[in-house]
């Protein structure tokens, strides 16, 4: 199974743009449930593969390891933890447009004049 994962991961890392995101995954632990992370790495049109990677936390070690030889564009949301992943290497970080629309409209919800109220 690991061989297949490694082959898919290598193909994703051959992409000019790799998109990345994570989601919380509950994991049963002795007497409780822990919040862990499932990361998805998505390749571009030339390498149309998705690789899922599990980590115990949101720390950057898992992403740094996965992207260790990558030197192209990383497409991600605004989470600051990606800064440490791209620092000191050839990766260019690109922002995700899907996450910018809501933030640019947020002030309308808070400011009465922007809501059309006097």
Q: Is the pLDDT of residue 98 over 80?
A: no
Q: Which two tokens stand for residue 92?
A: 């260019």
Q: Between the ranges 22-26, 75-79, 92-96, 97-101, where is the mean pLDDT highest?
A: 22-26
- Residue whose entry in the numeric block shows the structure tokens 């600051």: 80
* Cα–Cα distance for residue pair 86/72, rounded to 1 Å: 10
- Residue whose entry in the numeric block shows the structure tokens 């992207």: 67
User: Cβ–Cβ contacts within 10 Å for residue 111, how many?
Assistant: 10
- Return mean pLDDT, the chain: 84
Q: For the sheet containing 73-76, what is the strand order?
A: 50-55, 32-42, 17-29, 73-76, 92-95
For 42-65, write each residue's pLDDT tens digit.
Answer: 999 999 999 999 999 888 888 999
Under the banding of pLDDT at 50, 70 and 90, the label for residue 81 is confident
Q: What is the mean pLDDT of residues 5-27?
A: 95
Q: What is the mean pLDDT of residues 81-95?
A: 88
pLDDT recorded at residue 101? 57
User: Cβ–Cβ contacts within 10 Å for residue 113, how many?
Assistant: 8
37 bridge partner residues:
24, 55
Predicted TM-score (pTM) of the model is 0.78
Cα distances from 81 to residues 22, 57, 84, 93, 112, in angstroms, run 12, 12, 6, 12, 34
Q: Which residue has the higher pLDDT, 106 or 44?
A: 44
pLDDT recorded at residue 19? 95
Under the banding of pLDDT at 50, 70 and 90, the label for residue 89 is confident
CB distance 21 to 40 below 8 Å:
yes
């Amino acid at each position: 199974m690991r061989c297949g994962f490694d082959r898919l991961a290598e193909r994703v890392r051959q992409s000019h743009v790799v998109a990345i995101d994570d989601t919380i995954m509950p994991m049963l632990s002795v007497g409780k449930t822990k919040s862990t992370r499932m990361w998805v790495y998505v390749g571009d049109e030339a390498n149309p593969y998705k690789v899922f990677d599990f980590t115990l936390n949101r720390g950057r070690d898992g992403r740094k390891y996965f992207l260790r030889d990558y030197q192209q564009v990383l497409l991600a949301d605004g989470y600051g933890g990606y800064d440490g992943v791209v620092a000191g290497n050839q990766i260019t970080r690109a922002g995700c447009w899907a996450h910018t629309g809501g933030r640019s409209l947020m002030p309308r919800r808070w400011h009465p004049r922007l809501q059309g109220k006097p």
